[in-house]
Structure 1
Amino acid sequence: MPKEVVLPELAESVVEGEILRWLVNEGEPLKKDQPFVEVMTDKVTVELPSPYEGVLLQKLVKEGEVVPVHAPIALVAEPGEVTTPITDKKPTPAPSVQAQEERSIVEPGTVAEDDGASLSLFKPDPKQEQVKNPFAKAAPLQTVQSTTVAQPRRVVAVPAARKLARELGLDIAQVPGSGPGGRVRVEDVRAYAQAQSQARPQAPKPPAPGFPPPVQYKPPKGYEDLETRMPLRGLRRAIASQMVASHLYTVRTLSVDEVDMTELVALRERLKPEAEAQGVRLSYLPFVFKALAVALKKFPALNSSLDEARQEVVLKHYVNIGMAVATEGGLIVPVVKDVDRKSLLQLAREINDLAERARAGRLAPEEVSGSTFSVTNIGSIGALFSFPIINVPDAAILGVHSIQKRPVVNERDEVVVRQMMYLSLSFDHRLVDGAEAARFCKEVIRLLEKPERLFLEAL
């Protein structure tokens, strides 16, 4: 009997996942623990290993669909069991020799691209089942004598058109081509996307009780053909969901201060050679993390969460700091655990490692959950000032900005040049009072302005 594969619980508090990309086609063999589908949650993107050995019999969910945890996503036939779902589909005839030759033609200014080599998360699968209800029971099964799977038709298209179709979530095989031999061009994909949008306008979702209806965008008259619509998918959808949750379920308030980083800049320059000798790139973030660990122990309200369901304030006796990392797909927040128990070099190693693997998309689910406080180093790309969004369920997030030389009046009324940096603290006013937030920032400033204090403070 075929076995049902369900979406597992990938991390604490994760209730759903988006099917980004199938890594195995229907009819292809599967080994146990072999990655067979790429799934994205609001925490992380992972490749799920197969719990069974056999043959991928049927995909129950299409790429781009969001399914709840424990929902069925695929059927796997046992080794030696040859089954296939009953469908009305007819095998697509193989392309002509002329079409196969035209596949190798590339328009000027483009780069040749192999159909099976793309790493895009939005690559459509021409063989996937179009299931209207992904949670409905699978189609009846019948036993057959062969595992031969009809090969999909090789579509003649320029690489730029294939790339655009993937980004728009379109099946390139459905796009009529206007080029030689029916070759699909970029303008063909745009025209098809526009026609699909006009033919099947999506009705706005009904608003939740107590909330205004969602905004439905309409293009200006006469500009309809100068816009491209893309489905809100993948990491961008997860980011949007997290931002809405932060806006709706926190009372966000901002506190801004500045810190004299002159002595810390000099200390880092002295320590950099020793760190490099141990293979560690020493940035300013490890110092900031150490200062935060001390300050959070003194001001525990900043290291708390609100359990709204039980109406309880949760004070955390550990320090796990999330750090916002900009990637090609969007913002990811890996978490450095037990910051208060680690040395500067340990923190530097872990910060660098998590940032690199976040950009490469190789983080595990447990590495993007469990934060108690967050930091966004917006200054690394030159920002002078920002209003950070709280990473719920954290109570606060600190924005660290660019270090700049500015004239400062010292205690002797002299104008001197100092290395100054702004700090912007966003906090949930339900959990943290304004005075407490200000005192917290002053404690962080005290430690950063005299960084030798970091080695004297007990944690």
Structure 2
Amino acid sequence: MRDLTLPTLAESVVEGEILSWLVEEGDLIEEGQPVLEVMTDKVTVELPAPFGGRIVKRMVQVGDIVPVHGVLAQVEEVGAQAPVAQSPATATPERAAAEMKDERSIIEGSAAKQSDPGKAKAAFAGFNRSAAAGPAVATKPAPIMPAPIPTPSAPPSTAGLAETSPAPGQIRAVPSARRLARELGVSIAEVMGSGPNGRVRPGDVQAHAQAPQVQTPPTQAPQPQTSVPVQPAAKSGGSTDWPPTAPPAYRTPAGYESRETRTPFRGVRRATSQGLLAATLHSAQTHTIEELDCTNLMALRDELKADAQQQGVKLSYLPFFLKAASIALREFPAVNSSLDTAAGEVVYKNFVHLGMAVNTEAGLVVPVIRDVDQKGVLTLAREISDLAEKARSNTLKPQEMADATFTVSNIGSVGSMMGVPIVSPPAAGIMSVHSITKRAVVIEQGGEDVIAIRPMMYLTLSFDHRLVDGADAARFLKKVLWLLEKPSRLVLQG
């Protein structure tokens, strides 16, 4: 018997959502045959079987979120002798461990490999906490229990407990329990789990939904062990300052149940939400803004449009911005760097792979153009068009969305005058391009200052202050302006 697991499809992919199974239990599969459809890091892919055999058991269902290296199915190799079934009385510790592994479900918000739970990272994992104190964000009331009476028998082994315990702010629950909680309108965070390590099972959800609300009589002393879990305000500098409590859960106003439309929080929207939340929590983000006079850029683009069209290329402003950013990144390598936290090193890259944010019906996706500093404006325009079309048709491959060293977001295409984008680590920066608007500005003509109407645009650079100093960020953006205010410089610099 072999496990079919979710492979590592790209460096940034840490989990996948099961969209559909292409095979049934009992089916024979061949090596390379697509077996299921998975959405991983905003890309939908069909996973081929790495080996042949018979599907004995599908371990996950449609809608489940599976971490990289998580078990998808058990496959019996054709011709292999079936193992002799063990009775519960003769079950070995290894078999019990395997059953425990099969029961493991997804840790909500986890970015860790199922085969190595010790590497699971919570959103606030960087905050110090003593092991004895336990999680500071417990969302379930601890039941009142009598002190245990010592017995001569040896207690159960606790080896590996730290590895299997969920990180702070995370909840263990089997998929069927999560589905039942959604159907009953129960917050999974409020349910006491009876499974191993507090894992929530369907029976726990049912019992929680049927249990009456317990209120403490006014004359009775407060009982924090049995009251509804409310986080008290932590004293300044105390060990419970972090992580903060989760925001209040949404509740439908009474009488408005029929006036809501609900859709599952999954797919691209969920992936984007998790990525951006992690980005804001684990980096020191700030920004700088400049104003670009687009007079000469617009003139050059109008001049080249016809020539580009003859070669079958639609020439927009974006390739000029990508080219200018790539040149500036070579001059200011800190903006093109990453922090390798495991090695404790800053990585300066001698290549420029630029992500470009594309708005699709399913949500925001960021395809990547490689080696931008080695390509001309016309080549970039062609690749931009091709990748944007793939993004909108949901046909991007995982490698076409990986390894961005910097990102350019063009929200001016939807009329935005100014915005502040969020940096997505491990990149150190993202530049936002906005709409061109005619404004009155002061310019110099014949040695005198005059007021003129010019097509102007705001440029925003968001950067990770852990890696980029404010002065370097400002110089980087000034370099981009210098190149684009006289875009013929792109030829000389490139």
Q: TM-score, normalised by structure 1?
A: 0.71
1:355 equivalent in alignment to 2:359: no
Residue of structure 1 equivalent to 2:184: 197
Deviations 1:65-86 (A, max 9, x none): 22222222123455699x9xx9
Matches of 1:76 and 1:311, distance apart in 2: 40
Matches of 1:456 and 1:239, distance apart in 2: 38
Residue of structure 2 equivalent to 1:7: 6
Matches of 2:346 and 2:402, distance apart in 1: 19
Q: Name the SS of the counterpart of 2:312 in structure 1.
A: coil
1:417 equivalent in alignment to 2:453: yes
Q: Name the SS of the counterpart of 1:38 in structure 2.
A: strand
Residue of structure 2 equivalent to 1:123: none
Matches of 2:43 and 2:364, distance apart in 1: 11
Residue of structure 2 equivalent to 1:71: 70
Q: What are the residue-to-residue correspondences of 1:292-441 with 2, within 5 Å?
A: 292-412=325-445, 413-441=449-477
Q: TM-score, normalised by structure 2?
A: 0.66
Matches of 1:421 and 1:54, distance apart in 2: 59
Deviations 1:23-68 (A, max 9, x none): 3343455444232211122363311112344554432101222222
Matches of 2:442 and 2:385, distance apart in 1: 36
Residue identity matched to 2:11: E
Residue of structure 2 equivalent to 1:119: none
Q: Is the 8 A contact 1:194 1:225 kept in 2?
A: no
Q: What are the residue-to-residue correspondences of 1:12-411 with 2, within 5 Å?
A: 12-28=11-27, 30-42=29-41, 44-53=43-52, 55-76=54-75, 133=104, 196-198=183-185, 200-203=186-189, 210-219=242-251, 221-223=253-255, 225-226=257-258, 227-411=260-444
Matches of 1:261 and 1:219, distance apart in 2: 48
Q: Name the SS of the counterpart of 1:196 in structure 2.
A: helix
Alpha-carbon offset, residue 210 of structure 1 = 3.0
Q: Quick one: structure 1 residues 262 and 193, their matched pair in 2 at CA, closer, same or farther if it must change by over 3 Å?
A: farther
Deviations 1:160-187 (A, max 9, x none): xxxxxxxxxx99xxxxxxxxxxxxxxxx
Alpha-carbon offset, residue 309 of structure 1 = 2.8
The alignment covers a number of residue pairs equal to 357
Q: Quick one: structure 1 residues 229 and 298, their matched pair in 2 at CA, closer, same or farther if it must change by over 3 Å?
A: same
More deviation, 11-20/202-211 = 202-211
Matches of 1:13 and 1:386, distance apart in 2: 25
Q: Quick one: structure 1 residues 356 and 297, their matched pair in 2 at CA, closer, same or farther if it must change by over 3 Å?
A: same
Alpha-carbon offset, residue 331 of structure 1 = 1.0
Residue identity matched to 1:214: A
Q: Quick one: structure 1 residues 53 and 275, their matched pair in 2 at CA, closer, same or farther if it must change by over 3 Å?
A: same
Q: Which runs of 5+ in 2 are unaligned?
A: 86-101, 107-113, 115-174, 192-197, 199-230, 232-239
Matches of 2:182 and 2:387, distance apart in 1: 43
Q: Is the 8 A contact 1:295 1:444 kept in 2?
A: yes
Residue identity matched to 2:397: A
Matches of 1:266 and 1:28, distance apart in 2: 62
Matches of 1:439 and 1:134, distance apart in 2: 48
Q: Is the 8 A contact 1:305 1:395 kept in 2?
A: yes
Q: Name the SS of the counterpart of 1:383 in structure 2.
A: coil
Q: Is the 8 A contact 1:14 1:43 kept in 2?
A: no
Identity %: 50
Q: Is the 8 A contact 1:406 1:420 kept in 2?
A: yes
Residue identity matched to 1:225: E
Matches of 1:309 and 1:51, distance apart in 2: 30
Deviations 1:131-184 (A, max 9, x none): 964699xxxxxxxxxxxxxxxxxxxxxxxxxxxxxxxxx99xxxxxxxxxxxxx
Matches of 1:366 and 1:303, distance apart in 2: 19
Matches of 2:13 and 2:422, distance apart in 1: 20
Matches of 2:431 and 2:365, distance apart in 1: 16
1:452 equivalent in alignment to 2:485: no
